[in-house]
Structure 1
Amino acid sequence: MTRKPSHLQTRTNNKKMVLQCVRHYQPISRAEISEKLSISKPTVSLLVDELVRENWVHEKGNGESSSQGGRRPIHLYFNENAAYVIGTDIGGTKVRIVISDLSGRIICSTSFNTQKFLRSGLLKQIHKEVQDLIHRNQLDPNLIMGMGIGVPGITETASGVVMEAPSLNWVRYPLLMEAEQYFSFPVYVDNDVNVAVLGEQWLGNAQNKENVLFIAVGTGIGSGIIIHNQLYRGTSNAAGELGYIVTDKNDMKYEFKPTFHRYGYLESVAGGKAIGEKVTKLIQQNEEHPLYKEAMTSEITGEQAFSLAKAGDEIALPVVEDAIEHLAYGLINAATLLNPEIIILDGGVMKSADFILPRLQRIVHRYLPSSVELHLSQLGENAGVLGAVSLFLREYDSILN
């Protein structure tokens, strides 16, 4: 037997619906809300008055007579500054922190070197940076709703335990438990690429898309997946580990050695580090190459490899084109399985998107059974921090959702 919702539950749900209606259709009048939601005008008016008192909604207009003689409706707007959310993106080299309003507008931001504070405590430093931001920008600390954090590793979202983050040397690290020692407001934690896909769907190139695949191509390769508007994490929160896709069975017949310990096949042939490593070894075999001396003393970076390839370098070009092919096959496999509306590409390797994207599109569209949009991240370096804000707003049970 289905239990009917209580009067309080119904009222709370109606209040949330009214606020959502204002957010999506602003400016809007009380009468228009009543019509859209099929809720009586007196009920809407009472709920709006309450939302105005609580500062979630503000009114504009004076209700003066119109040319037809009726009173002009007072327009309602969502108050984007009713509260603030902190977004934190923990990377292997840099931690970025922003404080955002409820629309995703960044009010202030800061960053610091990850490795410098890894041993002394990242959360301790994040707390210090947050307090500094609040103080410097004269924000009311009582208006901070909470914080979202993106982490470069597999994360148990319910417990907030980072199962493994190689770039941070974290194994079963109780991040949420530590965060609760420093912050009195709610904190939510997830994998950094999961967080980034939320950011792109909220404010980037994946707006209004319900099925999204976000792929970050850097040293490693990972992806965030949204299916029917829901973030897909998988059974053990390890969904989207695209770097483990195998795109050449022949390599696997021999002793395949990943670029880094526990890295997968695709990131070991198409990741930035792998590309630079391969180009370095080949240049070391050619004394005539302009970068021979440099290759003998230090590793050519992925960025340098792409610059060489763009200039038509005979060593770098085949390596880079081979890596792009592998990446394209990985995209084809993932897109065939998930059938997303859009694939968003980001990460350090995609700094060379002008060279990579046309080649990827040619291969992907040739073999994919149904078409898919292929775009770069619109948010760029803000995808992680704004995604962390979006994570909090989605996960935290409040009047906003």
Structure 2
Amino acid sequence: MTVKQKNKKKVLNCIRDHSPISRAEIAVKARISKPTVSMLVDDLIQEKLIFEKGIGESSSQGGRRPIQLYFNEKAFFIIGTDIGGTKVKTTICDLGGNIVASCSFKTVQYLKSGLLKQIAKEIDAMIDKNSIDRSKILGMGAGVPGITETNRGIVVEAPSLNWIRYPFIQEAKQFFTFPVYVDNDVNVAALGEQWLGNARNKRNVLFIAVGTGIGSGIIIHNQLYRGSTYAAGELGYMVTDKNEMKGDFTPVFHRYGYLESVAGGKAIGARLTKAVLEDPEHPLYAEAMESELPGEMAFKLAKTGDKTAMAVLAEAIQHLAYGIINAASLLNPEVIILGGGVLKSADLLLPKLTEIVNQYLPSSVELKISQLGDHAGALGAVSLFLREHETIFKI
């Protein structure tokens, strides 16, 4: 990258982060001479990456008011797709992370015929429906539920998709003309929260997703930490009760870890079912005899004051809290973001989790719920593209 390109990127980022802003203010913030700033601003206006609008406030000495510059978020678009075991959600965003179009479909419907082929169809339909100029699409980021070798674009293993060493990027080239990047879905969600959510402006972040399984995305010094074999953040494998582990412990699913087998959504449902079956007087006894109760049922019952459900949840919350304590002691993040399906009942979980975690940590940490919620994966995939692809917009 030449000096001019570096300065141009610096000026653009300055406008993106601080608009509306004047040329003089850019020169001060970016530490670039006024004539150079003016020349670069003219280039950026010509390329339609920024625009001028209105007039700013006059200076304290009076005089002409400076023209204000704005970042043109609509200059280009990026696609983000969140491929989950249950559904695939795809969005088209502008450069500011504003969702222009969004769609989703059930994973199982297209697992055999090809998920990428269907994603391509959905993208084409969204582009046509919203009259988006195809030449303005920079590329796509994707999040997948499994260990992913990001540098080679290979999904090592994604059990819910039946993918083993799946050549994601190679396959994507059949359907997409633009560049595509892929990473683990929880890593991607962590990037989304750092870009637009509750971890904004934080350089050390731990994102924990609690669903059927439990995983985490780790950002250290503003860089995603993936580990030596791209398997960092597998929080679900933490052991939070050595005695139970030494006994006849069996994971909730084949190859699942200890923590997700006692505090994940599926585990909560299984433990609730077992507890209800020990009480023939319980209103859900007959239902529990028929089939396993879902994890969500524990939260619904707990809100009504059901003691059985409250005891099951208290146990799961303790295990989850111990896992968070272990991870936070090691990583010392500025903020811990909690996401995933189980955290939809955050009002029941967060106060108790915070209480236990900060009771045992050497220094307290802020626990927050994902601000982006269901959009964390798709928006995070957009952020992944912005981080990985070499453009003037690179984060």
TM-score range (shorter-chain normalised) is over 0.9
Residue of structure 2 equivalent to 1:269 = 262
Secondary structure in 2 aligned to 1:334?
helix
Residue of structure 2 equivalent to 1:193 = 186
Instruction: Give the partner amino acid of 1:357.
Output: L
The correspondence of residues 2-401 of structure 1 with structure 2, limited to 5 A, is 9-61=2-54, 70-401=63-394
Separation in structure 1 between the aligned mates of residue 246 and residue 193 of structure 2, nearest angstrom: 38
Secondary structure in 1 aligned to 2:307?
coil
Secondary structure in 2 aligned to 1:214?
strand
Contact kept, 8 Å, 1:276 with 1:305, in 2: the verdict is yes
Instruction: Identify which range, 62-71 or 15-24, moves more after superposition.
Output: 62-71
Instruction: Give the partner amino acid of 1:372.
Output: V
Separation in structure 2 between the aligned mates of residue 192 and residue 120 of structure 1, nearest angstrom: 22
Separation in structure 1 between the aligned mates of residue 314 and residue 125 of structure 2, nearest angstrom: 46
User: Could you say what the CA RMSD is over the residues aligned between the two structures, in angstroms?
Assistant: 1.7
Instruction: Give the partner amino acid of 2:100.
Output: I
Separation in structure 2 between the aligned mates of residue 208 and residue 36 of structure 1, nearest angstrom: 17
Residue of structure 2 equivalent to 1:5 = none
Instruction: Identify which range, 57-66 or 12-21, moves more after superposition.
Output: 57-66
Separation in structure 2 between the aligned mates of residue 66 and residue 316 of structure 1, nearest angstrom: 64
User: 1:282: how far off?
Assistant: 2.8
Contact kept, 8 Å, 1:61 with 1:73, in 2: the verdict is no
CA 1:231 to 1:63, structure 2 compared with 1: closer, same or farther past 3 Å? Answer: closer
Contact kept, 8 Å, 2:58 with 2:66, in 1: the verdict is no
Instruction: Give the partner amino acid of 2:392.
Output: I
Residue of structure 2 equivalent to 1:4 = none
User: 1:400: how far off?
Assistant: 1.2
Separation in structure 1 between the aligned mates of residue 320 and residue 56 of structure 2, nearest angstrom: 59
Secondary structure in 2 aligned to 1:262?
coil
User: 1:70: how far off?
Assistant: 4.0
Instruction: Identify which range, 280-289 or 100-109, moves more after superposition.
Output: 280-289
The number of residues matched between the two structures is: 394
TM-score (norm 2): 0.96
CA 1:91 to 1:71, structure 2 compared with 1: closer, same or farther past 3 Å? Answer: same
Separation in structure 2 between the aligned mates of residue 294 and residue 37 of structure 1, nearest angstrom: 65
User: 1:38: how far off?
Assistant: 2.9
Contact kept, 8 Å, 1:63 with 1:71, in 2: the verdict is no
Fraction of identical pairs, as percent: 68
In structure 1, list runs of 5 or more residues that go unmatched.
1-7
Secondary structure in 2 aligned to 1:312?
coil
Separation in structure 1 between the aligned mates of residue 3 and residue 59 of structure 2, nearest angstrom: 35
Contact kept, 8 Å, 1:83 with 1:143, in 2: the verdict is yes
Separation in structure 1 between the aligned mates of residue 33 and residue 355 of structure 2, nearest angstrom: 55
In structure 2, list runs of 5 or more residues that go unmatched.
none
Separation in structure 2 between the aligned mates of residue 63 and residue 319 of structure 1, nearest angstrom: 59
User: 1:318: how far off?
Assistant: 1.8
Contact kept, 8 Å, 2:143 with 2:378, in 1: the verdict is yes
TM-score (norm 1): 0.95
Write out per-residue CA displacement over residues 327-359 of structure 1, whole angstroms, 9 at most, x where no aligned residue. 000000000000011111111111221111111
Write out per-residue CA displacement over residues 351-399 of structure 1, whole angstroms, 9 at most, x where no aligned residue. 2211111111111111111010011111110111111111111111101
Contact kept, 8 Å, 1:220 with 1:271, in 2: the verdict is yes
